Amino acid sequence: MIADLIPSSQIIELFQKCHEDHPFGKFFGECTDLKIKLDSCFRQEKALRRKANFEESKKFNEKLKAYRKECERQENDIEEELHH
């Protein structure tokens, strides 16, 4: 598949050139193959970004959970000191 071999930026350039070279043909499917490849490339990039964002959010949530647990521990320590 061409989307695996060519970065999206190059497909965008090819797609734009196709529109420039075929001002009327673009309305009749002249550039459809490139559009399909571009859409596929964008979907792949989005999936990669989504996965990276998900991994980052998991790390953030783990840190947040640890922080909250530490805050709760400190509050309990303070309460315990006040009652003694």
Residue range 33-75, pLDDT digits in tens: 999 999 999 999 999 999 999 999 999 999 999 999 999 999 9
**Alpha-carbon distances, residue 21 vs 15, 35, 36 (angstroms):** 10, 15, 18
Q: Is 8 within 8 Å of 41 (Cβ atoms)? A: yes
Q: Is 42 within 8 Å of 8 (Cβ atoms)? A: yes
Higher pLDDT, 42 or 83: 42
Q: Specify the pLDDT at position 26.
A: 87
pLDDT band at 6 (very low <50, low <70, confident <90, very high): low
pTM (predicted TM-score)? 0.62
Q: Specify the pLDDT at position 3.
A: 44
Domain boundaries, given as residue ranges, for the chain? 2-83
Higher pLDDT, 79 or 54: 54
**Alpha-carbon distances, residue 71 vs 59, 60, 66 (angstroms):** 18, 16, 9
How many Cβ atoms sit within 10 Å of the Cβ of residue 41? 21
Closest CA to 35 of 49, 7, 14: 14
Task: Give residue for tokens 């003694």.
Answer: 84
